[in-house]
Amino acid sequence: MHRLFAALCLSLPLSAAQAALPVQLGPRPFFLVEDMADGPLKQKLQACAATRTEYKPTLFSIGHRGAALQFPEHSKESYEAAARMGAGIVECDVTFTKDKELVCRHAQNDLHTTTNILATPLAAKCIKPFTAAEFDAEGKLVKPAAAECRTSELTVAEFKSLKAKMDAFNPRARTVAEYMAATPAWRTDLYAGPGTLMTLDEAIALYKKLGVKMTPELKAPSVAMPFDGFSQADYAQKMIDAHKAAGVPPGDVYAQTFFKADVLYWVAHEPEFAKQAVFLDAAEKPADLPTAEQLKQYRAEGVRIVAPPLFALLALDANGQLVPSDYARNAKAAGLDIISWSLERSGPLVGPGNKGFYYQGVGHTLTRDGDLYRVLDVLGRDIGIRGLFSDWPATVSFYANCMGLK
């Protein structure tokens, strides 16, 4: 299994620009290694940290919305940080504006939590204006603060006038300022100043400059389709056409979607790009995951890469040790490559509890932040996934470099 993983990674060469990009990991990977429980994996990573003087970009490390642990997601600054941390692939979630221009946002209707729109005159264009939280006489919250602002209500010029912020909102807010000032304590606003929003075309140009490959995700529209004559097929095609117009070869693009119909559209109409198309799994719990037969059907239909959330790939053996899940084994047996999401998305692992969505079923065994490398080792060496999304790519880049993954 380990040899298969190494061979897969070695089959994905980096461009000359990527090979020349200086990687700056910062202190976090080394902090996590020292936080690990004693054992062979810790010793191996400690030895790497003590002797390695240079780190290189790796396709195993994928910047999830850039480097969203500390930078506003889908901003120029977040993308640049991800590349500097060694991410060989960086993500732009793709949605569209009122004038049907493609832009980078995690959702078409998240501007109220990811930008400063509510503090600008463009708040008047929000489909649901800000409403303050309501409390009863005892101070109990009876109606949370709310808003909804969509890219489809703005022209691309209006979109570009906004600033990205850390994705968060305060449900107890009585004012817009309180609603916007809600970044979790384990994230930071230290780097949230510029927050430069990007169109897809601008992101592609930046990725080419940084020497990274691209994983655009076709996001589900919040509006009914077709939108002013713009169909779902038009949308799927336009995302691919943006890369073609910029001269990006299909081998540098990992087009993603949560909808199999979009993958099959690319299989039928853009077969070269479909070779690396990624079918994201929307399962919210293990019972939602596809069966072995369904995974085989995916492959028969032309899907080549599946991307489930972390919990789909992790299980515990009789001794309570992390091991590959049945889903992981079934996907490999079906001839599918695997990418997973998203490391360092759900906050610190320190303390009790099930660690929420990403670690359901195994979270009670993860009691320190250094356990991230236990998770990574099962994904990387035992399963042999093709790549891993992370909100802080340096963590994954360090592991890939130390394990000799290219």
pLDDT tens string 135-151: 999 999 999 999 999 99
In a domain, 246, yes or no: yes
The per-residue pLDDT for 351 is: 74
The per-residue pLDDT for 354 is: 67
Q: CA–CA separation, 403 vs 3, rounded Å?
A: 12
> Region 30-39: what's the mean pLDDT?
98
In a domain, 121, yes or no: no
Quick one: DSSP state of residue 117?
Answer: G
Q: Which amino acid belongs to residue 82?
A: A
In terms of pLDDT, which residue wins out, 283 or 3? 283
Q: CA–CA separation, 172 vs 175, rounded Å?
A: 9
Quick one: DSSP state of residue 339?
Answer: E
The Cβ of residue 34 has, within 10 Å, a number of other Cβ atoms equal to 12
How distant is the alpha carbon of residue 167 from its chain centre?
13
pTM recorded for the entire structure: 0.94
pLDDT tens digits, 343-400: 999 989 987 666 889 999 999 999 999 999 999 999 999 999 999 999 999 999 999 9
Which of 144, 148, 95 is CA-nearest to residue 118? Answer: 148
What is the total count of domains within the chain? 1
316, β-bridge pairs? 322
The lowest-confidence range among 18-22, 66-70, 187-191, 383-387 is: 18-22
In a domain, 369, yes or no: yes
In a domain, 212, yes or no: yes
Reported confidence tier of residue 6, pLDDT bands at 50, 70, 90 = very low
Residue 3 CB-density burial (10 A; 0-12 exposed, 13-18 middle, 19+ buried): exposed
- Which tokens in the block code for residue 185? 């304590």
The per-residue pLDDT for 99 is: 98
73 CB-near residues (< 8 Å, 6+ apart): 65, 66, 106, 114, 164, 166, 167
Which of 334, 287, 313 is CA-nearest to residue 377? Answer: 313
Phi, psi of 322 (to 5 degrees): -65, 135
CATH code, 376: 3.20.20.190
Helix residue ranges, H only, 197-322: 200-210, 232-245, 260-269, 271-274, 292-301
User: Please, are residues 170 and 178 in contact by the beta-carbon 8 Å criterion?
Assistant: yes
Answer yes or no: is pLDDT of 12 > 70.
no
> Region 113-139: what's the mean pLDDT?
98
Mean pLDDT estimate for the chain = 94
Structural domain for 366, as ranges: 2-107+192-402
pLDDT tens digits, 291-307: 999 999 999 999 999 99
Find the helix or strand (DSSP H, E) in which 324 lies.
strand 322-324
How distant is the alpha carbon of residue 130 from its chain centre?
28
Reported confidence tier of residue 406, pLDDT bands at 50, 70, 90 = confident
In a domain, 281, yes or no: yes
Find the helix or strand (DSSP H, E) in which 30 lies.
helix 28-34
The per-residue pLDDT for 355 is: 82
Query: 128-135, long-range: CB within 8 Å, 24+ apart, which pairs?
Result: 130/176, 130/179, 132/173, 132/174, 132/175, 133/171, 133/172, 133/173, 133/174
> Region 201-213: what's the mean pLDDT?
97
Reported confidence tier of residue 21, pLDDT bands at 50, 70, 90 = low
Reported confidence tier of residue 127, pLDDT bands at 50, 70, 90 = very high
In a domain, 164, yes or no: no
Helix residue ranges, H only, 275-319: 292-301
In a domain, 177, yes or no: no
In a domain, 306, yes or no: yes
- Which tokens in the block code for residue 13? 């060469």
pLDDT tens digits, 230-267: 999 999 999 999 999 999 999 999 999 999 999 999 99
The per-residue pLDDT for 10 is: 38
Over pLDDT 70: what percentage of the chain?
A: 94
